[in-house]
Amino acid sequence: MGDTLLEVEDLHVHFPTPDGVVKAVNGISYSLAKQEILAIVGESGSGKSVGVLSLLRLIPDRDCHLRGSVHFEGSDLLQLSDVEMRELRGNRIAMVFQDPMTSLNPVLRIGDQIQESIIEHQGISEKVAKNRAIELLELVGIPEAEKRYRHYPHQFSGGMRQRIMIAAGLACEPSILIADEPTTALDVTIQAQIIDLVKKLRREIGMSVIWITHDLGIVAGLADRVAVMYAGKIVEFAPVDELFKNPQHPYSKGLLNSLPRLDTRSEEPLEAIEGFPPNLIDYPTTCPFLERCSSRTEQCQTPPAQQALTPSHQVWCHHAVKV
C-alpha cells in the first residue's frame, strides 16, 4: 500500500463505571493508506465502535480514559482542541453510523442538511452547494433527487435514509470515510449498490475507508485489508485474500466457518463459535480467547505477542504457523 494517511498507535479506551473499569479497547495499532479500504470485523462488544468513535473523540472525555496516539495530517487527533476536532469531523474525516435516524435532523429537509454541510466546510455558494447535494443524492441512488431534495427524513424508507446519510458523509469529499455497520439494516441489493458506490468514490476522489461490519461477505467484496478484533484487541491483521485463504487465529477461523455457504444456500451459520467473550472489567491475564479456544495449551496462560507470518500478515496466537 502507498502513503500512510492515518496511524493509530497503541490505542486504549477504558470506561470507569461503578462496577469497575470496562476495558473496551486494549492497545490496538494500525495504519490506513491513501485510498485503502480497511475492514474491522469481530462480534458484538469487541470494541469496534468504541475504537473508531474515540479516533474522532466522539466519546465525551469525562466518560472514558484514552491512551495512545492517532496521527493524521501532522497532528495527533487525541491532542487536538475541541474546536480543531470539530473542524476536522465531517470535513476531512466523515463518519456514517448504523442508525440514520439518530444522525439526520428530523425537522430539516434532507437537501438542506447535505447542503449545509457542504457550505460550512467548503465555503461555496448556496447554488453550487445545492447542485452538488442533488448530484450526491443521485449518486447514492435516490430517485427524483431534485424533488426528493425538499423532503424530510420521515418521508423516506430506512434504506433510503441510510443512503442519504452516506451522501451527507460524502458531501465534503472527506479523506477518510468511517462507516460503522452502515448497511446492516439494508436489504442485500441496496447493500451491494452502496458497496459499489464506496469503491467508485475511493477511485474517483481518492478517499480511504474504515468499514466496520460483522459480515464477512461484505468484507470479501469490499476490503483491501482486514483487522479481526476480539475483546478490545486486534487478534489478526491481513490482506483480505490472505485472511480468507489462510486464517491463523482460531477466532478468525471460527468466524470464517460461520459464514453461510453459497453452495447449500443455507442461511444458517455452519459452526458458530461457542461460548462468550471475557468480562471486560475483570480482563483476563491469559490469552483473551483462551476460554473459547479448542487449540489452547499451557502456553496460552501468557498473552501472545504479535507474530508476523509475512510482512503484511500479523497474528496474536501462540499456535500460528508460518507457511
Ligand X SMILES: Nc1ncnc2c1ncn2[C@@H]1O[C@H](COP(=O)(O)OP(=O)(O)O)[C@@H](O)[C@H]1O
Residue in 3, 19, 44, 125 binding ligand X, rule: CB under 6 A: 44
Among 26, 35, 46, 49, binds Mg ion (CB under 5 A): 49
| Candidate segments 17-25, 116-124, 161-169, 187-195, binder of ligand X by CB under 6 A | 17-25
Q: Does 183 bind Mg ion (CB under 5 A)?
A: no
Q: What span, in angstroms and rounded, lies between the C-alpha atoms of 30 and 9?
A: 7
Nearest distance in Å: CB 14, ligand X:
9
Alpha-carbon dihedral angle through residues 213, 222, 261, 236, given to the nearest 10 degrees: -60
If the CB atoms of residues 24 and 190 are measured against ligand X, the closer one turns out to be 24
Look at residues 246, 265, 254, 248 and name the one whose alpha carbon lies nearest to residue 291. Answer: 254
Is position 288 an interface residue for ligand X (rule: CB under 6 A)? no
195: Cβ contacts below 8 Å, ≥ 6 apart: 183, 218, 221, 222
Euclidean distance between CA atoms 69 and 76, whole angstroms:
6
CA distance 134 to 21: 46
Extract long-range pairs of 236-242: CB within 8 Å, 24+ residues apart.
Answer: 236/314, 236/315, 236/316, 236/317, 237/30, 237/313, 237/314, 237/315, 238/312, 238/313, 238/314, 238/315, 239/312, 239/313, 240/39, 242/310, 242/312, 242/313
**Of positions 11, 24, 129, 317, contacts ligand X by CB under 6 A:** 24
**Smallest distance, ligand X to C-beta of residue 40, A:** 8
Cell numbers placing 286: 491469559
Stretch that binds ligand X, among 15-23, 67-75, 249-257, 312-320 (CB under 6 A): 15-23
d(CA 319, CA 88): 42
- Select from 32, 38, 42, 118 the one that contacts ligand X (CB under 6 A): 42
Among 26, 35, 46, 248, binds ligand X (CB under 6 A): 46
Q: Does 283 bind ligand X (CB under 6 A)?
A: no
- Shortest Å, Cβ 44 to ligand X: 4
Please state whether beta strands 307-310 and 313-315 pair in parallel, antiparallel, or not at all (unpaired).
antiparallel
Q: Closest distance between ligand X and the C-beta of residue 23, in Å?
A: 8
In the bound complex, what is the minimum distance in angstroms from residue 121's beta carbon to ligand X? 27
Distance in Å, CB of 147 to ligand X, minimum = 37
- Per CB under 6 A, the segment of 41-49, 217-225, 258-266, 310-318 that binds ligand X is 41-49
42 binds, among Mg ion, ligand X, none (CB under 5 to 8 A by kind): ligand X
- Burial of residue 26, with CB atoms counted within 10 A of its CB: 0-12 exposed, 13-18 middle, 19 or more buried: buried
Q: Is 63 near ligand X (CB under 6 A)?
A: yes
Instruction: For Cα atoms 6, 65, 47, give the angle at the middle one, nearest 5 degrees.
Output: 60
CA distance 219 to 40: 9
Query: Which window, 16-24, 76-84, 92-100, 140-148, contacts ligand X (CB under 6 A)?
Result: 16-24
Query: Applying CB under 6 A, does 47 fall inside the site for ligand X?
Result: yes
Closest to ligand X by CB, 225 or 233: 233
User: Residue 173 or residue 236: which is nearer to ligand X going by CB?
Assistant: 236
The identity of residue 178, as a single letter, is: I
Strand-strand pairing, 4-17 and 65-72: antiparallel
Which CB atom, from 199 or from 214, has the smaller least distance to Mg ion? 214
Residues that bind Mg ion (CB under 5 A): 49
Residues that bind ligand X (CB under 6 A): 15, 17, 22, 24, 42, 44-50, 63, 280
